[in-house]
Copies of this chain bind each other. A is one copy, B any other.
Amino acid sequence: MYGRYTQDLGTFAKDEAARLRLQEGDTPRPRRPSELLEYTQGRCAPCRVCALQCQRFLISKVGEDWVFLILLGLVMALVSWAMDFAIATCLQAQKWMYGGLDTNVLLQYMAWVTYPTVLITFSAGFTQILAPQAVGSGIPEMKTILRGVVLKEYLTLKTFVAKVIGLTCALGSGMPLGKEGPFVHIASMCAALLSRFLSLFGGFYENEARNIEMLAAACAVGVGCCFAAPIGGVLFSIEVTSTFFAVRNYWRGFFAATFSAFIFRVLAVWNKDEETITALFKTRFRLDFPFDLQELPAFAVIGIASGFGGALFVYLNRKIVQFMRRQKTINRFLMKKRLLFPALVTLIISTLTFPPGFGQFMAGQLTQKDTLVTLFDNQTWAKQGSNDEFEYLGILEAWRHPRSNVFVTLVVFILMKFWMSALATTIPVPCGAFMPVFVIGAAFGRLVGESMAAWFPDGIHTDSNIYRIVPGGYAVVGAAALSGAVTHTVSTAVIVFELTGQISHILPVMIAVILANAVAQSLQPSLYDSIIRIKKLPYLPELGWGHHEKYNVRVEDIMVRDIRYVTLNCKYRDLQQVLHSTKMKNLPLVESAESMILLGSIERTQVGALLNSQLSPQRRLMTLRQKALSEDGHRLSDSSIRFQISTETSSGTPARPALRKPLKPALKRVPSSPADSPPAGSADHTGIALKSLFCANAATEPTEIRLGVRRMGGSLLALVGRPYPLPCQMAPPQILEWEEQQLEQLVDFSSAKIDPAPFQLVEHTSLHKTHTIFSLLGLDHAFVTSIGRLVGMVSLKELRKAIEGSLTGKGVKVRPPLASFRDSTASTTEADTTALRQLWDRHQHHHMPREAGPGGDDDEDDTPK
């Protein structure tokens, strides 16, 4: 967020704290010599000294970025590996149960169905109880967080535990769910926790910009250690979570993701799963002639079809969610039994994949990983001219059906998995959609590849050598294209290379991914954006591909002109009125209602605090005391005032929860930083002071209070907690009179925090540029000025409306009807000139002599006429 004022205060305080700490680090701390003395008495004194020095060195280094990144990478690699191990064990247990019960089909079915149902239900229940924030992918939330908005409870230890355990159970059930999206979230939580943990060691300080940088790196680590794809991970996380990317943060992502991917694969080697570090889904396509030039149209077809498929998937996923929400009968029933929906979905899906049942037509017995391994297989499955019957070895057996051919199996697999995945990803468990989509894409690619292989049994190449078509290559292309279409990313191409360990199909993959993106982006938002919209998270839509009309809409077309403001010489009554008439979080402060020169912006809470301090019982007491002093010279004791203050403080506590909103900017106002407390505290005064405003009446005339509060506006009603008695020395009518009198006074802004440089735009700024500035700086509002004069305001809401309006052709008018009458040269300067003239006229009371002319327009021919 841009709000410079609050940020700079926060940053300043953090800097100060850091400086103090650094100073502390440079100069030996006072207690250090005593520590050393204490230890030198012991036997192993040199060891202790050495250990202390080491500790000191470590503490001084622990704040360095690379230490943090290495730790993050290490932890995430361990988490990823441990989860993979647990998931594999779960899946093996199911297979073992299924295999052991092969005497009775019914028992087999029970085992096949019950096992995932129990796991998914447990996962849903566990997540629901521990941290409901852990549900779903997490990428949409991370995108919002990286934009500067802080979502409550999204980066806590509780959510971390819930997500890790929930995800392990969900994936262990064998449902078509992915671990990639949740891993981005897990890595971010890990980074946030690690950052908090390291700050315990000192030598490390919190900084908002640094936190965001670290979260961005964590997203890369998440993808990187999930797929052992460092480059793809970095790129995918950038594409998915960022709008503008600081290249100076690039190395962080690479460093952490590489380290993480390295450790992740080394663990596999140490566990004797692999002989050495290789790709996760290694392919062995021939290198000398990976594909023929004439196969490219087939790859392009995969790309375009994947684009449509991806858009359909996003649409289907959204429609399922919306259907579930709209159907009130279903919804009420499911809401009552929260775990029924997950169980039901799991039951349906696992029934359909039951291998002896329908599962035999869709390779139902294969796990997601096995499916991918078989789809990327080097051989051709379809019957070919030379060897009539291909030998299906090992797990490939699952794709063969005695009464049908491989094409049918593949088509059934694609169709069934498509809706199953779209449905399964709506289950309220931690889960991603990347991997299921990836598998479907691979199957689709394989289908096209097998068809091509059947069509051209000896390859297309006409030269001396016969190069058969490699259907596995098509599967790779299809996987990249469909996952790229669903997520609107190009970097799935890189992920695919890193996953398979082969880059020979780079051009087909790139072509297919770009075509898929082009088609999907013009049809639907990305899956993550779709979830952002469903969840109503604050967001700014992207400008589409080459929408030229964006250059034609300007700020003046979309801005709100009728805004409330605070003037420098206003009365407290005006503040009260402004507070009741608007809900804006930031109010502009102008010099006067006539000049409208923007001086800064003041937070709503600050205005409330000003009003409250003016009407506080303390001031009332002071007035009373001073009156008393002037009347009989009697001095009130300090203790009574102190008592008042302590009451004030204690009364502040219950008001706090009422102020908490789900989108509280917690990251910015880190509780540990010392200087953030004053604004936070003063923000909480809003409610307190209002309470104290009516505290005298509270005990005696409760109805009157309610009326009074209602008169003051509904928005403040919520802030008033329980009324409590406070000793006041004024009678209620006196208080009202005193308050009326106080409200007539001029506002003293000296105690208020004012953002002295709120972001300003001018009327002619284009929508395109406004969007860029808002995304770049993470603004949520900007004032529109014309030569220092406030003329309007644009907030995220208006901008969003304008962009979506111009995208869909509905909503806000893209070009207001009168706009075409604007002259290109005259109107540009006219508004500015008029405004300037007004200012100028105010300052210059003696008019210029007429013979001198207004100046600068001497070359007009018609003046002498």
A404 part of interface (Cβ distance < 8 Å): no
Please name all residues of chain B whose beta carbon is closer than 8 Å to the beta carbon of A23 when the two chains form the complex.
820
Cβ of B748 and Cβ of A848 under 8 Å apart?
Answer: yes
Bound Cα distance A518, B251 (Å): 9
Cβ of A619 and Cβ of B858 under 8 Å apart?
Answer: yes
A81 part of interface (Cβ distance < 8 Å): no
Interchain nearest-CB distance for A296 vs B (Å):
8
Can you list, as one digit per residue, whether each of A288-310 has a CB less than 8 Å from chain B (1) or not (0)? 11111100000000000000000
Segment among A102-110, A489-497, A664-672 that sits at the interface with chain B:
A489-497
A542 part of interface (Cβ distance < 8 Å): yes
Given A507-B265, A514-B255, A785-B756, are A287 and B622 neighbors across the interface (CB < 8 Å)? no
Segment among A8-16, A355-363, A394-402 that sits at the interface with chain B:
A8-16
Bound Cα distance A761, B861 (Å): 44
A844 part of interface (Cβ distance < 8 Å): yes
Please name all residues of chain B whose beta carbon is closer than 8 Å to the beta carbon of A704 when the two chains form the complex.
none
A824 part of interface (Cβ distance < 8 Å): yes
Bound Cα distance A600, B840 (Å): 14
Interchain nearest-CB distance for A33 vs B (Å):
23
The listed residue (B209, B514, B756) touching A254 by CB distance below 8 A is: B514
Cβ of B246 and Cβ of A243 under 8 Å apart?
Answer: yes
Q: Which of A264-314 contact B (CB under 8 A)?
A: 265-266, 269, 275-279, 282, 284, 287-293
Please name all residues of chain B whose beta carbon is closer than 8 Å to the beta carbon of A19 when the two chains form the complex.
552, 815, 820
Interchain nearest-CB distance for A675 vs B (Å):
5
Interchain nearest-CB distance for A350 vs B (Å):
36
Cβ of B613 and Cβ of A833 under 8 Å apart?
Answer: no
Cβ of B243 and Cβ of A244 under 8 Å apart?
Answer: no
Interchain nearest-CB distance for A574 vs B (Å):
14
Cβ of A276 and Cβ of B292 under 8 Å apart?
Answer: yes
Cβ of B293 and Cβ of A277 under 8 Å apart?
Answer: yes
Bound Cα distance A511, B865 (Å): 80
Interface centre among A244, A752, A832 (most CB of B within 10 A): A832
Can you list, as one digit per residue, whether each of A88-127 has a CB less than 8 Å from chain B (1) or not (0)? 0000000000000000000000000000000000000000
Please name all residues of chain B whose beta carbon is closer than 8 Å to the beta carbon of A861 when the two chains form the complex.
638, 641-642, 645
Interface centre among A12, A65, A66 (most CB of B within 10 A): A12
Bound Cα distance A609, B857 (Å): 12
Please name all residues of chain B whose beta carbon is closer than 8 Å to the beta carbon of A507 when the two chains form the complex.
258, 261-262, 265, 277
Cβ of A836 and Cβ of B764 under 8 Å apart?
Answer: no
Cβ of B613 and Cβ of A858 under 8 Å apart?
Answer: yes
Given A19-B552, A748-B856, are A247 and B247 neighbors across the interface (CB < 8 Å)? no
Bound Cα distance A472, B628 (Å): 95
Cβ of A840 and Cβ of B750 under 8 Å apart?
Answer: yes
Segment among A128-136, A168-176, A183-191, A591-599 that sits at the interface with chain B:
A591-599
Cβ of B244 and Cβ of A239 under 8 Å apart?
Answer: no
Cβ of B853 and Cβ of A622 under 8 Å apart?
Answer: yes
A543 part of interface (Cβ distance < 8 Å): yes
Please name all residues of chain B whose beta carbon is closer than 8 Å to the beta carbon of A727 when the two chains form the complex.
none
Can you list, as one digit per residue, whether each of A819-831 has a CB less than 8 Å from chain B (1) or not (0)? 0101011001100
Q: Which of A479-521 contact B (CB under 8 A)?
A: 490, 493-494, 497-498, 501-504, 506-507, 510-511, 514, 517-518
The listed residue (B250, B636, B742) touching A490 by CB distance below 8 A is: B250
A839 part of interface (Cβ distance < 8 Å): yes
Please name all residues of chain B whose beta carbon is closer than 8 Å to the beta carbon of A723 when the two chains form the complex.
none
The listed residue (B235, B246, B546) touching A244 by CB distance below 8 A is: B246
A4 part of interface (Cβ distance < 8 Å): yes
A766 part of interface (Cβ distance < 8 Å): yes
The listed residue (B510, B642, B851) touching A622 by CB distance below 8 A is: B851
Please name all residues of chain B whose beta carbon is closer than 8 Å to the beta carbon of A622 when the two chains form the complex.
851, 853, 858
A55 part of interface (Cβ distance < 8 Å): no
Bound Cα distance A784, B545 (Å): 37
Cβ of A855 and Cβ of B748 under 8 Å apart?
Answer: yes
* CB nearest neighbor in B for A771: B248
Given A254-B490, A766-B15, are A614 and B855 neighbors across the interface (CB < 8 Å)? yes
A366 part of interface (Cβ distance < 8 Å): no
Cβ of A5 and Cβ of B247 under 8 Å apart?
Answer: no
Please name all residues of chain B whose beta carbon is closer than 8 Å to the beta carbon of A7 when the two chains form the complex.
769
Cβ of A852 and Cβ of B745 under 8 Å apart?
Answer: yes
A231 part of interface (Cβ distance < 8 Å): yes
Cβ of A247 and Cβ of B239 under 8 Å apart?
Answer: yes
Please name all residues of chain B whose beta carbon is closer than 8 Å to the beta carbon of A569 when the two chains form the complex.
840, 843-844
Bound Cα distance A548, B463 (Å): 63
Bound Cα distance A756, B12 (Å): 29
Segment among A334-342, A427-435, A772-780 that sits at the interface with chain B:
A772-780
* CB nearest neighbor in B for A764: B8
A577 part of interface (Cβ distance < 8 Å): no
A199 part of interface (Cβ distance < 8 Å): no
Q: Which of A747-762 contact B (CB under 8 A)?
A: 748-754, 756-757, 760-762
A854 part of interface (Cβ distance < 8 Å): yes
Please name all residues of chain B whose beta carbon is closer than 8 Å to the beta carbon of A638 when the two chains form the complex.
861, 864-865
Can you list, as one digit per residue, whether each of A556-575 has a CB less than 8 Å from chain B (1) or not (0)? 00000000000011000000
A56 part of interface (Cβ distance < 8 Å): no
Cβ of B757 and Cβ of A760 under 8 Å apart?
Answer: yes
Interchain nearest-CB distance for A356 vs B (Å):
36
A425 part of interface (Cβ distance < 8 Å): no
Bound Cα distance A265, B507 (Å): 10
Cβ of A247 and Cβ of B245 under 8 Å apart?
Answer: yes
Cβ of A282 and Cβ of B287 under 8 Å apart?
Answer: yes
Please name all residues of chain B whose beta carbon is closer than 8 Å to the beta carbon of A591 when the two chains form the complex.
597, 788, 839, 843
Interchain nearest-CB distance for A288 vs B (Å):
8
* CB nearest neighbor in B for A860: B645
A768 part of interface (Cβ distance < 8 Å): yes
Cβ of B749 and Cβ of A836 under 8 Å apart?
Answer: yes
Interchain nearest-CB distance for A621 vs B (Å):
9
Please name all residues of chain B whose beta carbon is closer than 8 Å to the beta carbon of A323 when the two chains form the complex.
none
A332 part of interface (Cβ distance < 8 Å): no
The listed residue (B64, B490, B832) touching A546 by CB distance below 8 A is: B64
A-B contact pairs, 13 of them (CB 8 A): A12-B824, A209-B768, A248-B542, A258-B514, A619-B852, A623-B851, A745-B848, A748-B855, A750-B855, A751-B855, A753-B829, A756-B786, A757-B761
Q: Which 10 pairs across A and B sit closest by C-beta, in order of nearness? A: A751-B856, A599-B788, A618-B858, A16-B824, A65-B546, A757-B760, A8-B764, A258-B510, A748-B855, A569-B843
What 16 additional pairs, Cβ within 8 angstroms, besides A13-B824, A244-B246, A623-B851?
A14-B551, A22-B548, A64-B546, A231-B494, A231-B510, A262-B510, A276-B289, A276-B292, A494-B494, A610-B856, A618-B858, A619-B853, A750-B856, A754-B836, A757-B760, A760-B760
